[in-house]
Chains A and B, each alone.
Chain A
Amino acid sequence: MTRAAATVFLVGAAAVGIGTAVWLSAAPARLSVEVGPPPKSGGSSAGTPDLVGVTGCLAAACHGSPGTDALAGTWGPATWQSSGTCWMAADPHRGAYALLEATQDTPRRRPDRPTAWEITELLGQKRADGKKLEAYEDVRCLACHTTPALAHPDVDRDTDDAVERARRQRMRGLRADGVGCEACHGAAKDWVVPHTAWKGRDGHAELFTKYGMTPLYDVGERATTCVGCHVGAPASPGVPVRDMNHDMIAAGHPALNFDFGEYHRRLPKHWYERARVGGHDNAGPGSEARRWLVGRVAHAEAACRLLADRAARPVTDERSPWPEFAEFNCATCHHHLRGEGPTARPGVRGQMVWQPVWPATGEFGPNPGVAQAPQLDKLRDLVRVMGTRNKFPGRGVVGEPALAAADQLRQERLTLVKAPAVEVTARAKNAFPKLDGKPTDWDPVGQVLLGLAALERDRDPGKPPKPGFDPAFDAVRGHRDWPAALKTLAPLLP
């Protein structure tokens, strides 16, 4: 962990250097603003981003004070003053862009992780001039490896407008910050000054809305923000499509096995969780269970919206194949073929199984908490469309049920965010299926285990820890013998 943190820090430090250099080189262009036409109202044309950038938040008096306490695992109201420092030092989002700049000589960070250079070599995308399209030039990569708004194609286009040209140059420079503050908190131009004066707890929701700051204190909004990249999202105003598909996985990009609760837990926190606006309690009893369940529902919603978007793209779009194999559980195809008899796999033999956005879609059969929930009937319709036909569902038949399911899931998320902790915990516990030894594979088993672990973390500190998690994690990590792994999970069920 410390070694990983140190690596992140070094990468971060290097990127700061790059960022500064770009900033300096942009300075003369900024001077030309004086003689150019006056800035237009709104500052930006046709969705070109106008971000403050990480450096705008990191003044020593703002979020750039030393982060010793937070990095050591002690959080309090003062954590906010070192948010930027902590992020800079330890947050993996910091290095997201640096990964894209890999060259032929860049070693792999891990032996099992091909570099961006290797991946783009295989993807074979070409620029207009016929040369290789590098990862840092590819909107598909930039959309999640930097603050998504900065991936806007206009940023790379030339313009006659001197002010606009200067801004675009500065925006290109900001990409090197990685997935920066504004990626999650929202474009800061309008709130960077006012938010320093927001005091107390009341009226925050209104202020966040008024100034366009993302209300990350709301766990549902937080999860939705994460899944925009960690699952994917259709294009939205100013932000290009975020879609990491099977072509990219085949070329070497890791598959997105996102679990909001688990990722959230592992992230070095640069914030202080506390009861805040509208009674959102992110640190009290039951908050782990809520994070986990809300995260899974937000995940499912994002998956449905992405699916609808993929289905709606034109057949001529060469980067949007259909069927999109990334929609399906990897292991339904990628398994060994054993000599004796068919291999145990979930679902109908020989057919692909839609990705398990568990617990919304159980591979273990109906579970009482979710699969029969009347408010999620559209999701069950979608699962049928995606999984029960001999043919791949055509582009035309998927979009409508996917969007209907997404809307129901959104409603479910809003309900779960507001519901009392006791009720959410009860629903989380009820969402676990009976593990009746049905054939399974990595995806559902991993998802169940991470859910069980989230519930376990809600445990009363006075009670002894539940035994059996270590063997379960070992069994899932080893991913060899699924029936055996399932057996390790059974005693952990609530």
Chain B
Amino acid sequence: MRASVLVFFGVLAVLASATRQSGGQPARPAANGTPPAKPYGTGMPAFAQVPTASCGSSPCHGGGSVGQVGSEHTTWAPVVNTDGPHDPHAKAYRVLFNETSVRMGKLLGIAAPHKEALCLKCHAIDNVRPADAVADGVGCGACHGPAEKWLEAHYAPGWKGLSNKQKWDDYGFVPTDNLVARSLNCAGCHVGDADREVNHDLIAAGHPRLAFEAARFHAAPQYRKHWVEKIPQPAFEVRTWVVGQAAALRASADLLRARAERAAAGDEKAAWPEFSGLACYSCHQTIGTGDIRRTGGQADRPVGRPGWEVWSNAAVGVAAELCPEVFAGVSAPDLRAVTELRKVMGKSTAPSPKAVAAQAGKAVAELDAWLAILQAAEDRDPAPRVSPAVARKFVARLTDNALAKDKDGHTVLADHDWDALAANYLGCAAMYSAAGGKAGEPGWAEPVKALGDKLRFPAGKDSPSGLDRKGLDGVRDGFQRFQKLFDATSVTRGKP
């Protein structure tokens, strides 16, 4: 299986190099002749976790100067400035005591959410010892890896000489400098994996839905970063968006595989279909007014059937197509197994779990191969200089992706599902930010804001309630405004 994937990718790379003389080079083989099949940084190494307090001593990361090197823990924790921005991960454990968590516990039959493994897996460091160290929330080890091996090594001489892969393989250290390793680690909780998930039961009981988008999460205004990004703009944000797309879809496919395997094995507790893997608002939408939102046959799924992970599928094609723009020496992957998985999932409301598990496995392998290539390219060139025009190219493709022509030649939304619209919009917003925001692209400021306002949920609602045909026409016009901006600035469209 693994070998066949390698062969497949090898063939792909050869084909790509044969057919494209100009543009991106094929993925450069790794030292042993073939690109690695898997990126480092997926899953969690089997080493022991260390409590967060261990990192926060004053000579190490607990200095007194928020935002400075040596004060990472201080910056992270909401201790120095409780009212100001801090890292929300530090509060992850505390929210298990709030009103929503208590009510969720009652509805789900969980007596104490703060003691429940299901909750603690993502609201604290999983398996940390001593047990009361869960109170630190999603502490250092959750993102940087279990410190059993690297705690003493990481300030010893020679640490900086190790490769990222060695740090991961031998020490269980997550090299978060590498955006692929970082995003994969985020996705473990923010999307889920074989062991961690937020399913529809939890959401129905009151847990917020998961909608991970790496660039948006990095730009969250309440998020006080305890590090300085080494990648210059616009490369940083464009890369973060590309990698985030790949990592989110990889995690979605892997979660689907795990769920399908459980259902195929006849696990009575495994829901199938598991609604949290489907687009929320394809069901949770206003009905009964005769208001048909779909404008006619563009989205590749039948009417009345909720789409699989529209959130992480909608814009990933743009990321795949344009990744060579920000990753030197990489060619655009052909996500055939992913396309096939979408087909399998669209075939019926409850496709055969066995068939889904098999296809999802292939999709994960395909995405892993892509991520491994991106990761290697990043390690080769961690601080690339990228022209600001790249951001324009991405936005042009994202708007093309959001829009389509109907058979009469009218411009319509390619997919009217809110998740698809939001995914394309967030891509545009990330590019705006990458290009320097208002200072870099003053002409984008108003269209970005207007489109965001159109997609925002109404006050007091947790869904795009009331986004009717008229509202969707407004969103379409919003994307068209972007498109027109780029016609004026004559950006080359199509495949690079």
Which A positions have Cβ atoms within 8 angstroms of B? 108, 110-114, 118, 121-124, 246-252, 255, 315, 321-325, 330, 333-342, 349-351, 390-392
The residues of B that contact A118 with a CB separation of less than 8 Å are: 292
Partner of A334, one of B285, B291, B296: B285
B85-122 interface (Cβ within 8 A of A): 100, 103, 107
B292, A122: Cβ atoms under 8 Å? yes
A325, B349: Cβ atoms under 8 Å? yes
Q: Quick one: CB contact mask for B264-292 with A, threshold 8 Å, 1 for yes?
A: 00001111110100001001111111111
Q: Flag whether B43 is at the interface (Cβ < 8 A).
A: no
Alpha-carbon gap, A409 to B157, bound state (A): 81
Alpha-carbon gap, A118 to B291, bound state (A): 11
The residues of A that contact B296 with a CB separation of less than 8 Å are: 121-122
The residues of A that contact B286 with a CB separation of less than 8 Å are: 334, 336
Alpha-carbon gap, A350 to B207, bound state (A): 11
Which B positions have Cβ atoms within 8 angstroms of A? 100, 103, 107, 200-201, 203-206, 263, 268-273, 275, 280, 283-292, 294, 296-297, 302-305, 348-350, 457, 460-463, 465
A336, B290: Cβ atoms under 8 Å? no
- Contact A391 B272, CB 8 Å, known A334-B284, A340-B460: yes
How far is the CB of A297 from the nearest CB of chain B, in Å?
A: 27
A333, B284: Cβ atoms under 8 Å? yes
How far is the CB of A345 from the nearest CB of chain B, in Å?
A: 8
The residues of A that contact B303 with a CB separation of less than 8 Å are: 122-124, 247, 250-251
A322, B350: Cβ atoms under 8 Å? yes
Alpha-carbon gap, A201 to B291, bound state (A): 51
A333, B283: Cβ atoms under 8 Å? yes
Q: DSSP majority for the A interface? A: loop
The residues of B that contact A322 with a CB separation of less than 8 Å are: 348-350
Partner of B201, one of A334, A338, A349, A391: A349
Q: DSSP majority for the B interface? A: loop
How far is the CB of B349 from the nearest CB of chain A, in Å?
A: 5
A339, B461: Cβ atoms under 8 Å? yes
Alpha-carbon gap, A12 to B305, bound state (A): 36
How far is the CB of B105 from the nearest CB of chain A, in Å?
A: 13
Alpha-carbon gap, A34 to B107, bound state (A): 76
By beta carbon, the residue of chain B nearest A250 is B304
Alpha-carbon gap, A108 to B291, bound state (A): 12
How far is the CB of A123 from the nearest CB of chain B, in Å?
A: 7
- Contact A251 B292, CB 8 Å, known A322-B348, A341-B100: yes
B284, A350: Cβ atoms under 8 Å? no
A350, B461: Cβ atoms under 8 Å? no
The residues of A that contact B304 with a CB separation of less than 8 Å are: 246-251, 321, 325
B292, A112: Cβ atoms under 8 Å? no
The residues of B that contact A111 with a CB separation of less than 8 Å are: 290
A342, B107: Cβ atoms under 8 Å? yes
* Chain A to chain B: the 8 pairs with minimum beta-carbon distance, closest first: A350-B204, A250-B304, A112-B290, A333-B283, A337-B462, A337-B463, A349-B204, A250-B303
B271, A342: Cβ atoms under 8 Å? no
The residues of A that contact B285 with a CB separation of less than 8 Å are: 334
A336, B107: Cβ atoms under 8 Å? no
Alpha-carbon gap, A28 to B79, bound state (A): 95
A124, B287: Cβ atoms under 8 Å? no
By beta carbon, the residue of chain B nearest A350 is B204
